[in-house]
Amino acid sequence: MPMVYIGADHAGFEAKELLKEFFSQKEIKVEDCGALVLDQEDDYPDIAHEVAVKIQKDSESLGILLCGSGGGVAVAANKHNGIRAIQAWDKESAQLARKDDNANIVAIGARLIDKETIEEIADTFVSTAFSNEDRYKRRLEKVHNLENL
């Protein structure tokens, strides 16, 4: 099982803490990249940056980012080379993010999704492997080449 880096701003803080306990019970290694305390004034780009940098350094790892909508952390994480952050709202979208798109970060909207579904998304994301099918590899190569425009 890959290392999982997790981060959340104030809107996702409670869900992040629940996921840490959830993964601990499943004996999955998780590193908390912040916020380490609930702070209504924190900024999601700072948290997304911390998780993205960890994944850049450890390409076999995965990340989970939480904010109010999931959109902000996805946009911020995707500013980093080699990061493929995708929002997921249910188990199926999390599975497809990994299987088809080889996403390395899942972004979750903690204000929009119930806690049980957040656990399902996170669990599915970290337990699903990239399919490695030629058509998906070809598409990802095209995405990679877009970075060079």
Active-site residue list: 67
In angstroms, the CA 145 to CA 128 distance is: 25
Residues 6+ apart with CB under 8 A from 134: none
How far apart, in whole angstroms, are the C-alpha atoms of residue 91 and residue 121?
Answer: 5
Convert 71-108 to b/e letters by CB count within 10 Å (16 or more is b).
ebbbebbbebeebbbbbbbebeebbbbbbbbbbbbbbb
| Separation between Cα atoms, residue 118 and residue 114, nearest integer Å | 6
The token duo for 112 is: 């929009």
